[in-house]
Structure 1
Amino acid sequence: MVMIMWLGLLIPFFGTTLGSAIVYFIKNKKNELLSRCFSGIASGVMVAASIWSLLIPAMEQEKNILIIVLGIFLGALLLLFLDCIVPHMHPGTNDEEGKESHFKKTTKLVFAVTLHNIPEGMAVGIVLAQAIRTGSIYAALALSIGIAIQNFPEGAILSLPLKSNGFSKHKAFLIGSLSGIVEPIFGFFTILFSNWILQCLPFCLSFAAGAMLFVVIEELVPEMAQGKHSNLPTISFLFGFCVMMVLDVILG
């Protein structure tokens, strides 16, 4: 079970690493449509994961729907708070958010992706904590694989702009990969508090779902809608959504 736990924690990080490696295969010219499609895939996976891996299990265990609603809103409020205080900049824009700072643009790009990864790490940690107690290993691995799939485009979304801004391929790859390390860290610390988490598991599941949905609505959806109209980002969203749904149904 310990090996499964570490595997579940590290699979999403491997997804980020593979996505960051795209800098070695794409020319220097920035492809805005490709980045938007990547955001669409990531959005679809996160929405599906929020529903099938987090909210549905939460509602199956908690009959008081107000607990679920409270968890969703508090999870979103946590990310809103972090969004307001952490200086960051989203890929594809020059709009800075959070507190004013003298950090470089590239640092703010990394902070933006790091904010994405916090709720994902929490979600994986919570589901793994549940798996340790109940033995539902495949459901936990389904979420880890799904998050890894959505981390693939996120790694690319970060590493490609870094390369466009003058970073070498190797440095862009390294920074893009390391941006995903926050997920296993947050997942691990979530598991450390599993005794408390399991006592209020439905609330924690909905809390993680709310945080993930905030990221989708506030950051990823606007990114996929930027620029000239195209249906490809929408199709990418549906693709990511269906992949995560199938994964959860088959493995869950």
Structure 2
Amino acid sequence: MNLFFGLMVPFIGTVFGAACVFILRGELNPRVQKMLLGFASGVMVAASIWSLLIPAMDMSAEWGKLAFLPAVGGFLLGVLFLLLLDWLIPHLHLGSEEAEGHKSSLKRTTMLMLAVTLHNIPEGMAVGAIFVGLLSGGSEITLTAAFALSIGIAIQNFPEGAIISLPLRSEKGMNRLRAFFYGAASGIVEPLAGALVLIASHYLVPILPVLLSFAAGAMLYVVVEELIPETSRGRHSNLGTIGFAVGFVLMMALDVAFG
């Protein structure tokens, strides 16, 4: 039961965010959107460090001064994995007119959904990886630490769900229910990715430090490639930076307090 809720909590965060389409009119204010994107970036960076990379190096302590090697290898593999997906899958980011990835005749709405799916895959993998670490019996990861990561990702998914559903309602003329569905569905890949990692846990436990670092690398790729640049679009402000600081501190506090 703990595993089920742990995997579903991030998706629930996306659903609640998408539900904003029922109570808000139009899109989010661009300044608010920048702050929320910065907040999501801060949460993901802190989660990558405290929930994934540091435990990965702690698990490799017997390597002595080379304890960083599994973390480095996994991190780089995670970056390469997202780079490959970014190149292979046709997708379109909000606020952009030019699609990325392979050329495709897919509808704009579909490519917007694929862009969010790309972002959510590493988050689902991160939750699955930390629960694999919990099931392995290692003292480095506790149940509260696993749920701290899951809750932290859910918190940053809340604005993400709103940022997807609200523009679909205002720009595309969708009815509220359909816009909500698209916003909520963008997060379903997270529990699926986490479940796939758990299903393969028997094979992954021996390389758990690499797996945790892989998830961290994939998450930070998303932050650097997409989220932070989006906070700098249009008129310059410091709101994205302020949001980043708040998200980073919140996730850090969650991990340290409940880890």
TM-score (ref. length: structure 2):
0.93
Task: Give the Cα separation in 2 of the matches to 1:77 and 1:199.
Answer: 21
Residue 22 of structure 1 and its aligned partner are, at CA, apart by: 1.4
Correspondence 1:18 to 2:16: yes
Match of 1:137 among 128, 143, 148: 143
Q: What secondary structure sits across from 1:188 in the alignment?
A: helix
Residue 69 of structure 1 and its aligned partner are, at CA, apart by: 1.1
Query: Which AA in structure 1 matches 2:163?
Result: I
Task: Give the Cα separation in 2 of the matches to 1:123 and 1:247.
Answer: 16
Correspondence 1:124 to 2:101: no
Query: Which AA in structure 1 matches 2:32?
Result: L
Residue 231 of structure 1 and its aligned partner are, at CA, apart by: 1.2
| RMSD, aligned α-carbons | 1.2
Q: What secondary structure sits across from 2:42 in the alignment?
A: helix
Aligned ranges 1:230-245 → 2 under 5 Å: 230-245=237-252
Corresponding residue for 1:213? Answer: 220
TM-score (ref. length: structure 1):
0.96
Corresponding residue for 1:172? Answer: 179
Task: Give the Cα separation in 2 of the matches to 1:84 and 1:150.
Answer: 25
Match of 1:36 among 34, 56, 71: 34
Residue 107 of structure 1 and its aligned partner are, at CA, apart by: 0.9
Corresponding residue for 1:82? Answer: 85
Corresponding residue for 1:108? Answer: 111
Residues 1:11 and 1:30: Cα distance change in structure 2 (over 3 Å): closer
Corresponding residue for 2:206? Answer: 199
Task: Give the Cα separation in 2 of the matches to 1:181 and 1:73.
Answer: 26
Task: Give the Cα separation in 2 of the matches to 1:105 and 1:141.
Answer: 35
Residues 32, 92 of structure 1: 8 Å contact kept? no
Residues 39, 246 of structure 2: 8 Å contact kept? yes
CA displacement, residues 68-113 of structure 1 (integer Å, 9 cap, x when unaligned): 1111111000000000111111112222100111111111111011
Residue 37 of structure 1 and its aligned partner are, at CA, apart by: 1.6
Corresponding residue for 2:193? Answer: 186
Residues 92, 98 of structure 2: 8 Å contact kept? yes
Corresponding residue for 1:159? Answer: 165
Identity of aligned residues (%): 54
Paired residues in the alignment total 250
Residues 53, 213 of structure 2: 8 Å contact kept? yes
Match of 2:6 among 5, 8, 16: 8
Task: Give the Cα separation in 2 of the matches to 1:37 and 1:112.
Answer: 20
Q: What secondary structure sits across from 2:102 in the alignment?
A: coil
Task: Give the Cα separation in 2 of the matches to 1:124 and 1:102.
Answer: 33
Residues 1:55 and 1:107: Cα distance change in structure 2 (over 3 Å): same
Residue 169 of structure 1 and its aligned partner are, at CA, apart by: 1.3
Residue 246 of structure 1 and its aligned partner are, at CA, apart by: 0.7
Residues 34, 230 of structure 2: 8 Å contact kept? yes
Which stretch of structure 1 is more off in the superposition, 192-201 or 211-220?
192-201
Q: What secondary structure sits across from 2:136 in the alignment?
A: helix
Q: What secondary structure sits across from 1:98 in the alignment?
A: coil
Residues 57, 70 of structure 2: 8 Å contact kept? no
Residues 19, 151 of structure 1: 8 Å contact kept? yes
Residue 153 of structure 1 and its aligned partner are, at CA, apart by: 1.3
